Chains A and B, each alone.
Chain A
Amino acid sequence: MTGVLMTGAGFWSPLVWLAAFLIVLAIVLLIRSTGRKKFRHGTDQTAAFFSGNEAPKTHVKAGNIYWGFFVTTGRYYRWLQRMHTGIINDYVYGFVLIMVILLAAVTMGGLL
């Protein structure tokens, strides 16, 4: 059948998904249309509430996003930073290391 992808354990049908998505969208729009019509764009209604003061119009910069995540996983990231030195010698060293590990795995693998 067209539009159904068999994935071994189950199936995935984007067309059915799209149909379901459209139905849900229609329901959402239906519910939305029953709402109040007093909404005005560009008035105080849309402004953010900032304790009665003027809300600052700033942009959260990329460096500040996920701050808590980096604090929690700090040790892991320090380890990663130590790994990614950016020195070409370490790049070649990683390659040699993988070759040695693979060689050990392939030659010793039969014995285990």
Chain B
Amino acid sequence: MMAFLLQHAPPLVIALPLVAAFAMPMVSRLGARAVKAWALLSLLATESLVLLLGRDVMSGNPHVYALGAAIPSLTTPAGYPIRIIIEVDAMSAFMAMICASISVLVCMYSLQYVRKKGGQDKYYTLLLLMTAGMMGLVCTGDLFSMFVFLELLSVSSGALIAFYARRGESSEAAFKFMVVSSIGALMVLLAAGIFYGQYNMLNLAAIGGMLRFGFLDKVALVLLVAAFAMKCGAVPMHMWVSDAYGEAPAPVSAFLVVASQASLYALFRVCFTLFGVAAATEIMGWALVVLGMLTMFIGVTMAIPQKDIKRLMSYHAVSQTGYMLLGVGVCLAVLGNAAALGSFGITAMQGGLFHVVNHAMYKGLLFLAAGAIIYRTGTRDLNKLGGLAHRMPLTAIFFLIGAFSISGLPPFNGFASKLMIYESVFRFNPLLSVIAMLTSILTLASFMKVFHSAFLGPELPEYRGVREMPPAMWISMGILAVFIMLFGIFPDLVVQYLVGPASQALLDRIGYLGGVL
């Protein structure tokens, strides 16, 4: 049974949340409790399947699965790959584990957070669809499926952003999100068309094996990089992020962070696996580094003056994405230079990937803490908040953990990944490292502003009746906080068992191509 599940795990991790979402209209006839139980159970099942798959993949055993073939590993029946192929290597498994874990916590938090009458089943359907889209995006080995899952992700997250349709702002944010992300996805489709016209293939590995890097390939590279960089919120294409994250319900914002990181995965996959050393890696790497620097600095400076707590945090999400782009961009820039790659390139990439998982955790925790404030006080305006630590001490502690972690204070996990990025980037170009540190300082400054204005100070009369958040919310936040501490105290184990294999898989282009061909 376990072997059967493991063999069929790659399509099942996509199909399980998808089928659970399809069945939701039937389950919703049994009442709101059944809807919640169904969503949580199916996400837990997905999570356990992903962990099962991830443990196998991380131990150096990538899975390749051809849908509809006579045997799962029959990828090239006529000498070239023809079917939809799912390829899960350590990098995909790493991302899939992040997505699945955060989805479970977000669902748990939503059990009490989402109180809208009559919208429960739709909320959980869309949450499940989003999970399926992310899983598909990180697991697929096919450029066209990537487009399909990207659109599935965009449509479901667009609908979730506009969940509180009574507010005009959320429709506005969702409209902007949909326009921008559908144009981005169209560019991905255009790139897929360009590849199909040249090589008659859509499989990432097959295209990578035949790549000539002519003019059309360069156009396709630019389209893909621009589209995925936009989807992960790089400056100057980041404006949708602050609208969308700011207006979505708080758990959805926490989940959208992971959605952006799935796009980041696609960006790395395209740069490292599809193009690899053959392409202009130095230029592309520098482009990512410059984008990363801009993202980091403009994101954080835009965050400081914000007065809406969630909008402020969304700008921080933009800013933190810059660190990942910086770390991995440095590795991409030195990809052709074996000595530099060995001495600091790999560390930079590991720092970037470590930051991905850390960011998913602490940003999730911060958004959930913001959600708790909004849930109890009903306002998101920092000018109206104050003195909440008297009434919500647990929220204050969780918020502080998240804030310390995002600002890179030891011994939290943000410090470990940022230190890896600083020290490796310093050997690449010291100026970049200095700007990155300055960004961290500004991050701490702006979170102290939030902490001071929301939690500190005398108790305000209008919040005298505020109580601590309900159990489902603090349990999910507590799990995140515990993992932040653990990752902070044992960063070497995380790097050794999770990040290390993932970065190796991303660098091992031949291995990925050989999995299919």
B460: chain A residues at CB < 8 Å are: 59
CA–CA, A62 and B388, complex, Å = 14
A17: chain B residues at CB < 8 Å are: 410-411
A21: chain B residues at CB < 8 Å are: 411
Number of A-B contacts (CB under 8 A): 158
Q: Judge whether B298 is part of the interface by a CB distance below 8 angstroms.
A: yes
Complex contact A70–B305 (CB within 8 A): yes
Complex contact A61–B386 (CB within 8 A): yes
Complex contact B445–A99 (CB within 8 A): no
Which B-chain residue is minimally distant from A104 (CB atoms)?
B222
Task: From A3, A18, A62, A107, give the contact of B383 (CB < 8 A).
Answer: A62
Within 8 A of A (CB), among B194-245: 215, 218-219, 221-223, 225-226, 229-230, 234, 236-237, 239-240, 242-243
Complex contact B176–A3 (CB within 8 A): no
CA–CA, A12 and B419, complex, Å = 8
Within 8 A of A (CB), among B276-292: 280, 282-284, 287, 291
Say whether, besides A14-B488, A84-B239, A91-B176, A59 and B280 are in contact (CB < 8 Å). Answer: no
Q: Judge whether A69 is part of the interface by a CB distance below 8 angstroms.
A: yes
Complex contact B458–A59 (CB within 8 A): yes
A57: chain B residues at CB < 8 Å are: 458
Q: Judge whether A80 is part of the interface by a CB distance below 8 angstroms.
A: yes
Say whether, besides A88-B179, A91-B239, A98-B226, A3 and B304 are in contact (CB < 8 Å). Answer: no
A7: chain B residues at CB < 8 Å are: 347, 351, 419-420, 423-424
Q: Judge whether A95 is part of the interface by a CB distance below 8 angstroms.
A: yes
CA–CA, A9 and B226, complex, Å = 32
Q: Judge whether A2 is part of the interface by a CB distance below 8 angstroms.
A: yes
B112: chain A residues at CB < 8 Å are: none
Main secondary structure of the interface of B (DSSP, over half): helix
Complex contact B280–A110 (CB within 8 A): yes
Say whether, besides A86-B239, A91-B239, A65 and B449 are in contact (CB < 8 Å). Answer: yes
Which B-chain residue is minimally distant from A59 (CB atoms)?
B457
Task: From A76, A86, A95, A97, give the contact of B183 (CB < 8 A).
Answer: A95
A59: chain B residues at CB < 8 Å are: 386-387, 453, 456-458, 460
Q: Judge whether A10 is part of the interface by a CB distance below 8 angstroms.
A: yes
B454: chain A residues at CB < 8 Å are: 62
A97: chain B residues at CB < 8 Å are: 236
Which A-chain residue is minimally distant from B445 (CB atoms)?
A66
Say whether, besides A65-B452, A83-B236, A92 and B179 are in contact (CB < 8 Å). Answer: yes
Task: From A63, A65, A106, give the contact of B222 (CB < 8 A).
Answer: A106
Additional 7 contacts, C-beta under 8 A, given A60-B452, A95-B184: A3-B492, A18-B489, A60-B453, A62-B382, A65-B449, A94-B239, A102-B222
A-B contact pairs, 6 of them (CB 8 A): A12-B415, A57-B458, A59-B453, A88-B180, A95-B237, A102-B222
A residues with a Cβ closer than 8 A to B are 2-10, 12, 14-15, 17-18, 21, 57-63, 65-66, 69-70, 73, 76-77, 80, 83-84, 86, 88, 90-92, 94-95, 97-99, 102-103, 105-107, 109-110
